[in-house]
Amino acid sequence: MKPTALIHAIVLSFGWRRRLIAFVAGVLSALAMAPINLWPALFLTFPVLIWLIDSAGSGSGRWRRVTGAAIVGWWFGFGYFLAGLYWIGFAFLVDAPTFGWLLPFAVIGLPAGLAIFFGLGAALARLMWMRGSMRILALAAALTVTEWLRGHILTGFPWNALGYALTSPLALAQTASIIGIWGLTFIAVAAFASPATLTDDRSETRIRWLPLALSVAVLTGLGAFGIARLARTPTRFVDKVHLRIMQPNLQQDVRFNYAAKQQVLDRYLALSDRASGPQSLGVRDATHLIWPESAFPFFLTREPDALAQIARLLHGNTVLITGAVRLAEPVNPSDPAAYNSIYVIDRDGSIVSLYDKVHLVPFGEYLPFQHLLERLGLQTLTKQRGGFLAGDRRRPLAVPGAPLALPLICYEIIFPGEVMPPGRRPAWIVNVTNDGWFGISSGPYQHFQQARVRAIEEGLPLVRAANTGISAVVDPLGRIVNSLPLGAEGVMDSLLPQPIGAPIYARVGDVPAAMIVALALLVIVRRRLRPEVVKI
């Protein structure tokens, strides 16, 4: 089939064929995300979305056209999220007898819900639709707004925001230091949808190749800026800070089994003191040892013997930073409440500082309408009765022998512009996580990709300890200094990179992205006010 015939078939499709085309285009769009990072595929899929919106509700009234665009956008989004978030189902198989029946609801229900934002974006774009290149700006502005809403409504879930398509290779990601992930989302949609004008009538788009040429020029400019930024900003390290990150690769049924508490602790202690080279002295080489999220199948402060064993490990000047579940005080024996926390422990086994997770995972760490759903027999995946309590606020973490740290537990690191505490700027990000829920899938790679972008946006190095991987030390431009792969047991030694001066995004947040969207909307409104412009 010739390209023109294929495009005509897309535009003239109706019914289930139209929905299927949108769904397949969405599925293929997920190839742009980690670990595949095949973002050129979007040059094919986003024009399809444009053409489908072009012909949405053809011959009908305005609101039928808007509704038709919303349906097309929903099916596109459903395919995108179904392919990009399939790995969420793995978490329901960790305890399949208890949670397995919920798997289809999660794997299908979450993408269906998130696709509403794509449907809303397509509908908003259709309200501004015009023939020619202006419809590309309309789609870019509308989807950027609805993607931002997806990242904030109902506590937000900005996972796989479209801007992440422009974060690999690393040079492209550097623009996040100026406009953040939402600015990159606008550029991504506008650039990847630009080939749609190649099939326009010359009366609609006088120079049909110009939008694509401009898009290629913009992407080239982003790459050139990134290459120059990486070249002129070498990685520098903090004096007298030597990190050791322990990745135990424990299965979930062991990590949450109290009967295996000594087995878990023995593994941590042995791995942490493992020699990493011929001249290695084990943990004595490190000033700071880092363990992953919720490391223990018990309340650490209620197990003095465990603290004593940790103190014996930390001889010399080594400090431990570890995830742990913390009992809320005062303790209610009949209904104990807990926090998902980070402890800093010194060589005497004393807890010198702590941080409680602020942004909890819905259904993983708490249930919406918790008491009602628990009465109906539902529970969180972590089986914490009553769910976890949220920390009262973001706060920096004081770490003896190291600069002030920004603690982020797992899911907290995916929220752009929401990670920094008020007051004094920390010098590094410590991110403890457990992606073991999701097995060997694309989920942990996507999580790590988003964590690297936070480092670029904030201009801070990232130190990440993950139970099953990916553990890494990343400099403030997103360069990986050292890492441990997914699904591997091991220990990793590294120096701590120095931060750089706060980038533009760290200082002003989403203001540049908002200005880009506002400018696009101004251009669209001015064009629509011209009497000769055909509005469709």
- The pLDDT tens digits of the residues spanning 365-416 come to 888 877 777 777 777 777 777 778 999 999 999 999 999 999 999 999 999 9
Residues 118, 253, single domain; the answer is no
Residues 191, 300, single domain; the answer is no
Residues 401, 514, single domain; the answer is no
Which is catalytic among the residues 147, 293, 412, 458?
293
504 falls within a domain:
no
Q: What is the CATH number of the domain that holds 300?
A: 3.60.110.10
Please give the residue range of the domain that contains residue 367.
Answer: 237-499
**pLDDT top residue among 344 and 255:** 344
533 falls within a domain:
no
- Give the confidence band of 532 by pLDDT, cuts at 50, 70, 90: low
Q: Given a cut of 80, is residue 274 above it in pLDDT?
A: yes
536 falls within a domain:
no
148 falls within a domain:
yes
Q: What is the mean pLDDT of the chain?
A: 91
Residues 205, 281, single domain; the answer is no
Ramachandran area for residue 12 (φ above 0: left; ψ -120 to 50: alpha; else beta): alpha
What pLDDT sits at residue 15?
Answer: 85
**Averaged pLDDT, 187-193:** 98
534 falls within a domain:
no
What CA–CA distances, in Å, run from 251 to 247, 279, 436? 12, 31, 7
**Averaged pLDDT, 228-240:** 97
Residues 468, 517, single domain; the answer is no
pTM of the predicted model, to two decimals?
0.94
**Averaged pLDDT, 422-444:** 94
Residues 458, 347, single domain; the answer is yes
Residues 271, 302, single domain; the answer is yes
Do 22 and 28 form a contact (C-beta atoms < 8 A)?
no
Which is catalytic among the residues 365, 410, 412, 457?
410
- Give the confidence band of 148 by pLDDT, cuts at 50, 70, 90: very high
All residues at 6 or more sequence positions from 370 whose CB lies less than 8 Å from its CB, including other chains:
386, 387
Q: What is the largest CA-CA distance in the chain?
A: 81
What's the order of all strands across the beta sheet hosting 288-290?
351-356, 338-345, 319-327, 288-290, 237-247, 490-497
Looking at the structure of the chain, the number of domains it has is 2
Q: Given a cut of 80, is residue 181 above it in pLDDT?
A: yes
Task: Provide the total of helices (H) and of strands (E) in the chain, helices listed first.
Answer: 17, 11
460 falls within a domain:
yes
Q: What is the DSSP string of 381-406?
A: TT--TT-PBPPSS---B--TTS--EE
Q: Is 293 a catalytic residue?
A: yes
Residues 215, 259, single domain; the answer is no
- Give the confidence band of 475 by pLDDT, cuts at 50, 70, 90: very high
Residues 464, 513, single domain; the answer is no
**Averaged pLDDT, 30-40:** 97
Closest Cα partner for 453 from 167, 39, 149, 189?
167
270 falls within a domain:
yes
What CA–CA distances, in Å, run from 411 to 221, 358, 405, 433, 448? 32, 10, 17, 8, 11
Q: Is 410 a catalytic residue?
A: yes
Residues 161, 27, single domain; the answer is yes
Q: Is 329 a catalytic residue?
A: no
312 falls within a domain:
yes
Residues 332, 408, single domain; the answer is yes
Q: Given a cut of 90, is residue 449 above it in pLDDT?
A: yes
Residues 171, 314, single domain; the answer is no
Which is catalytic among the residues 147, 357, 365, 457?
357
- Encode pLDDT of 66-119 as tens digits: 999 999 999 999 999 999 999 999 888 888 888 888 899 889 999 999 999 999
